[in-house]
Structure 1
Amino acid sequence: MNLKAASHSSAAAAKPAPQSAAQLRWWALVVLALAQFLVVLDASIVNIALPSLGSDLNLNSELLSWVITAYVLPFGGFLLLGGRLGDRYGHRLLFLSGVAGFTLASAAAGLAQSGAWLLAARAFQGASAALLAPAALALVARLFPDPRDRAKALGIWGAVAGIGSAAGVLLGGVLTSAFGWSAVFYVNVPIGLLVVLTLPSLVSRDRRGERNALDMPGAVTITAALVALVAALARIERSGWTSPVTLALAGVSAAALAAFLLIERRASQPLLPFSIFRNKSVLGGNLAMFLIGGATTGLFFALSVYMQQVLLYGAMKAGLTQLPLAGALVLVAGVIPAIVSKLGTRLTLAVSLFVLAGGLVWLAQAPSEATFAGNLLLPSIAIGLGLGGAFVVGTDLAVHGVSEKEAGLASGLVNTGQQVGGAVGLAILTTAASMRTTNLLGEGASEANALTGGFQWVFLGAAILSALAGILVLLIVRSSQGKGR
């Protein structure tokens, strides 16, 4: 009897306690968030290094813009396909493959000896990011099925994304000044290796489920449509809306999108089953994240250029001044689950978007001789508070109520919405800013005042996008949805 008791005691001790398994998921979240940090960081960290990079590799201004575009095109274009591949082959496998590819591409970019070499590495980075980003979010949804735990996890996720956005300018300036432009790519390598080596011990293998045939015609047409759209929007900044190249790319995008819609209606196993939008959470969340992507991309671009060209801040100072915004974002991301439990998802998201819009309107009042403490600090904090709630709750809403077999699709959709929304928003807002600046210069305004007037239009346009997102959430998402979560 004693031997049996001892045997039972030993067996019990050998089994991992439920609490340790729960703790492992939070460590897994940290590792997944690190990978997301890389994706967000890489969207801005390269900007500061462009002049140095162009000088070393003999790249003119046209080719320098392709250092950004070569990353954005495959990233935005392959996101939906990447999400669906995760559903078919497993999110863990796709995530690890994406991180490994991103790490290798970053090392190759740092070693680049020519412009062609660098652009190829950047394209591979973007394609790898399109695999890892939706898979990472799908894994978060799988690891945290309980709505309360998921809200906390997405709070951390949103905080990391906010830190990555704000840290890009600062880290880009520090690394380029201290170690040269290649350091902005090499910084990804140790983080990527850490993620690849640690995640397998924290997340179980993908379940062997039913592997339906992949809708290749749908995958080809939607990828072509997204790539052509992002390329057209990127072209607008250099050639304008009526450029033959811009119009041709827009036409290709429209034709490919029409073909995709026709294919999906007839496909027995479509890449994008439109029935997913019957879920009002998914529809409202994706519309909100599309508009948030447009608002935030325009905001961070204009704010960085305004500080450096008008206020004459150096790269380091411009980066440091964004820390209060990032701090407010992290703060609200940590408390957002408690707010959701009181107000519900719908109202929390709408209020966050209206706070963001208010902060942007406030920022638009800053003059050409603004001081940080007097004109920028408080609006930045308000923007950070609104962004923190909007990112976390918007992402949660966009994947709420989705089955595990469509988790990758939902994650790919929300990431695609953010990327395409960012490209559309940036093209529209920068065009409006350019028109405003040109008009003010024609009226005799100083260059500083004319530039400031253009940036003010960007901030006001971003505020309109944020407020529109809040209104759509109130109209589309049911008032009972998310209550008590």
Structure 2
Amino acid sequence: MDNHCLTRLPTEFPTEDLDVQRTQTTWPAVKSMGPLREAVFVFIACMAQFMTQAGLGSTLAPLTIIGEDLGVHNDGILSWFIAGYSLTSGTFILFFGRLGDLIGYRPVFILGFAWFSLWSIVAGLSVYSNHILFIFARTLQGLGPAMLLPNALAILGSTYPPGTKKNMVFSLFGATAPNGAIIGGVFAALFSQLAWWPWTFWACAIACAIFAVVGCMVIPPIYHEPEHPPRTVKDWIQQLDVIGAVLGVGGLVLINVAWCQGPVAGWTTVYVYVVLIIGAVLLALFFAWELWIATHPLIPLHALSLDVLYVLGCMACGWGSFGIWVYYFWLFLEHIRGNTPLLSAAQFAPPCISGLIAAFTTGYLMGRLRPAWIMLMSMVAFALGVVFLAIAPVGQTYWALTFVSLVITPWGMDMSFPASTVLLSDAVERHHQGIAASLVTTVVNYSISLGLGFAGTVEVHVNRGGKNFHDKLFGYRAALYMGIGLAGLGVATSLVYLVKTKVKRTTPSVEEGEKQAQ
């Protein structure tokens, strides 16, 4: 895999001696495992991604049923059942990735499953209260994936040296995303129709508790000495970059709240645009702090090359489009075509197979194609998937555009995620794997939540209140057009990135020119 396109600065990214350092590394964790333990180890790490997406699908399938039980019928409020979960899982990933770098990936990973289990129980118990408790529980539930995802990726990145095996493991990790969402949706539909929807969350709690216990047994401690081990409270505050975390998380949360609440309360409501302005100010202060003041910045902004920013920009556009696609796909099937949650979940089965094929194809291609080509193909898949859904006629057979959209979209997910995570994992040193994993997963999860806010704003401004079938359908299609726009921007960004890296490969450096002249 070509990693030449990443600019590596000596402070955070590896130098030219990195390959020598990695060759000398014994990688004791993977060498000490037998085949069975290694299989269980990879399985538990992949369950971090699986359960994260299952937490998303478990609310999508019975969304209307949960809303009716809790007395909520407004689509804008219903979107918070999903957006609140994605919001916290996206905004806190960087902090928990840094925490894993400091105290170890294993304890934070196991804590993530335990936390996920606890708040899944509370989410189920909210049936005895109201939708406010449910949204609160879902929001705190999202902290579990924020602990799990970066530290699972960091554990895998620290365990496996660069090579084909690492590419395939990361591809398998990415493949669990659509499978988690679909299987989570199927079980949610079964529980909501044949039993009681709170059992969706209580079953999730049981599974997470089991994974936490198994993780304690099979995940080896990943030893790495921090560059500057914290010894005092002041050291911990500086190394965790608590001030940067408060500014960054606060800014991201407030901006997302404004975008998601704008469609519900109206953009002319004072608190909505005040929250948006405060969030923007906090985010500006965060970047200023990280660039010029922080001694141990949460994000090594000075070490992010233009190529890395291109990759993250593609991910933001593609996964923002995906968030819109998956949310409005369920609404389209249930509210427009009149499917039951169980039938909708059954119709969502194709991504399970398509996602696995896409993931292993990506693992094979990553050793043979430049990342720019893989990113372009993934963005095209995102774009085609949302286009086919947006133009699908209401009365058309499922096996036409709807089925095709379900087959194509997982290729966007399972090509972009492994490529970007391996790209950044190989570009940073072993003790900075948490930072590499955090950047990708933050962009993925926050983009999903923010994309829903954008789409909801478009929907409520064109659907005339959604009081009849045609107005509701028009609003859904308008939201999907917003997804097409985001995916199209991702395609354009990936094309620019492809051209840029191609020029970089064909243009000799100054040193190469001198050698050729000699």
Q: Which moved more, 1:104-113 or 1:311-320?
A: 104-113
1:216 aligns with 2:207: no
Shift of 1:369: 2.0
CA–CA separation in structure 2 for the residues paired with 1:250 and 1:149: 44
CA–CA separation in structure 2 for the residues paired with 1:269 and 1:174: 48
CA–CA separation in structure 1 for the residues paired with 2:403 and 2:73: 36
Q: Which moved more, 1:428-437 or 1:95-104?
A: 428-437
Q: Which moved more, 1:200-209 or 1:254-263?
A: 200-209
Shift of 1:385: 3.0
Shift of 1:298: 0.6
The secondary structure found in structure 2 opposite 1:454 is helix
Residue 218 of structure 2 corresponds to 202
Q: Provide structure 2 residue ranges, at least 5 long, that are not aligned to the other structure.
A: 1-27, 506-518
1:372-417 CA-to-partner distances (Å, cap 9, x unmatched) read 1133222332223343222322332343311122211221221111
Shift of 1:64: 5.7
Residue 192 of structure 2 corresponds to 176
CA–CA separation in structure 1 for the residues paired with 2:144 and 2:494: 32
Choose from 451, 454, 470 the match for 1:428: 454
Residue 80 of structure 1 corresponds to 94
Shift of 1:236: 2.1
Q: Identify if the C-alpha distance between structure 1 residues 397 and 16 changes in structure 2 by more than 3 Å, giving closer, same or farther.
A: closer
CA–CA separation in structure 1 for the residues paired with 2:472 and 2:242: 51
Partner letter of residue 317 of structure 2?
A: L
Residue 38 of structure 1 corresponds to 51
Choose from 448, 460, 482 the match for 2:484: 460
Choose from 348, 356, 361 the match for 1:322: 348
Residue 228 of structure 1 corresponds to 254
Q: Which moved more, 1:464-473 or 1:145-154?
A: 464-473
Q: Identify if the C-alpha distance between structure 1 residues 301 and 147 changes in structure 2 by more than 3 Å, giving closer, same or farther.
A: same
Residue 6 of structure 1 corresponds to none
The secondary structure found in structure 1 opposite 2:92 is helix
Residue 12 of structure 1 corresponds to none
Q: How does 1:5-404 map to 2 (within 5 A)?
A: 18=31, 20-21=33-34, 24-54=37-67, 56=69, 66-112=80-126, 113-115=128-130, 117-207=133-223, 209-210=225-226, 211-212=229-230, 213=235, 214=239, 215-264=241-290, 265-278=292-305, 280=307, 282-404=308-430
Q: Which moved more, 1:58-67 or 1:184-193?
A: 58-67
Q: Identify if the C-alpha distance between structure 1 residues 425 and 475 changes in structure 2 by more than 3 Å, giving closer, same or farther.
A: farther
Shift of 1:201: 2.8
Shift of 1:237: 2.8
Shift of 1:430: 3.4
Q: Provide structure 1 residue ranges, at least 5 long, that are not aligned to the other structure.
A: 1-14
Q: Which moved more, 1:138-147 or 1:150-159?
A: 138-147
Shift of 1:30: 0.7
Q: 1:293·1:418 contact (CA, 8 Å) conserved in 2?
A: yes
Q: Which moved more, 1:386-395 or 1:53-62?
A: 53-62
CA–CA separation in structure 2 for the residues paired with 1:236 and 1:154: 37
Partner letter of residue 102 of structure 2?
A: R
Q: 1:76·1:419 contact (CA, 8 Å) conserved in 2?
A: yes
CA–CA separation in structure 1 for the residues paired with 2:72 and 2:280: 32
Q: Identify if the C-alpha distance between structure 1 residues 448 and 83 changes in structure 2 by more than 3 Å, giving closer, same or farther.
A: closer
CA–CA separation in structure 2 for the residues paired with 1:48 and 1:120: 20
Q: Which moved more, 1:123-132 or 1:472-481?
A: 472-481
Q: 2:390·2:480 contact (CA, 8 Å) conserved in 1?
A: yes
The secondary structure found in structure 2 opposite 1:180 is coil
CA–CA separation in structure 2 for the residues paired with 1:51 and 1:313: 12
Percent sequence identity over matched residues? Answer: 22
Partner letter of residue 125 of structure 1?
A: Q
Q: 2:258·2:273 contact (CA, 8 Å) conserved in 1?
A: yes
1:126-167 CA-to-partner distances (Å, cap 9, x unmatched) read 223222221111112112222312210121111101112233
Q: Which moved more, 1:241-250 or 1:296-305?
A: 241-250
Q: TM-score, normalised by structure 2?
A: 0.80
CA–CA separation in structure 1 for the residues paired with 2:61 and 2:389: 23
Partner letter of residue 467 of structure 1?
A: V
Q: Identify if the C-alpha distance between structure 1 residues 479 and 149 changes in structure 2 by more than 3 Å, giving closer, same or farther.
A: farther
Shift of 1:234: 1.6
Q: 1:353·1:469 contact (CA, 8 Å) conserved in 2?
A: no
Shift of 1:295: 0.9
CA–CA separation in structure 2 for the residues paired with 1:83 and 1:374: 42
Q: TM-score, normalised by structure 1?
A: 0.86
When the two chains are superposed, the root-mean-square deviation of aligned CA atoms in Å is 3.1
CA–CA separation in structure 2 for the residues paired with 1:303 and 1:293: 15
Residue 510 of structure 2 corresponds to none
The secondary structure found in structure 2 opposite 1:343 is coil
Q: Which moved more, 1:302-311 or 1:372-381?
A: 372-381
CA–CA separation in structure 1 for the residues paired with 2:499 and 2:272: 34
Shift of 1:90: 0.9
CA–CA separation in structure 2 for the residues paired with 1:121 and 1:450: 32
CA–CA separation in structure 2 for the residues paired with 1:401 and 1:320: 40
CA–CA separation in structure 1 for the residues paired with 2:420 and 2:30: 34
Partner letter of residue 247 of structure 1?
A: Y
CA–CA separation in structure 1 for the residues paired with 2:357 and 2:476: 30
Q: Identify if the C-alpha distance between structure 1 residues 247 and 104 changes in structure 2 by more than 3 Å, giving closer, same or farther.
A: same
Q: 1:221·1:260 contact (CA, 8 Å) conserved in 2?
A: yes
CA–CA separation in structure 2 for the residues paired with 1:197 and 1:445: 49
CA–CA separation in structure 2 for the residues paired with 1:368 and 1:361: 15
Q: 1:311·1:370 contact (CA, 8 Å) conserved in 2?
A: no
CA–CA separation in structure 1 for the residues paired with 2:364 and 2:194: 42
Q: 1:310·1:451 contact (CA, 8 Å) conserved in 2?
A: no
Q: 2:318·2:487 contact (CA, 8 Å) conserved in 1?
A: no
Partner letter of residue 268 of structure 1?
A: T
Q: 1:70·1:123 contact (CA, 8 Å) conserved in 2?
A: yes
CA–CA separation in structure 2 for the residues paired with 1:433 and 1:119: 21
1:60-84 CA-to-partner distances (Å, cap 9, x unmatched) read 8587665445434432332211111
Instruction: Tell me how many residue pairs correspond in the alignment.
Output: 464
Q: Which moved more, 1:15-24 or 1:324-333?
A: 15-24
The secondary structure found in structure 1 opposite 2:253 is helix
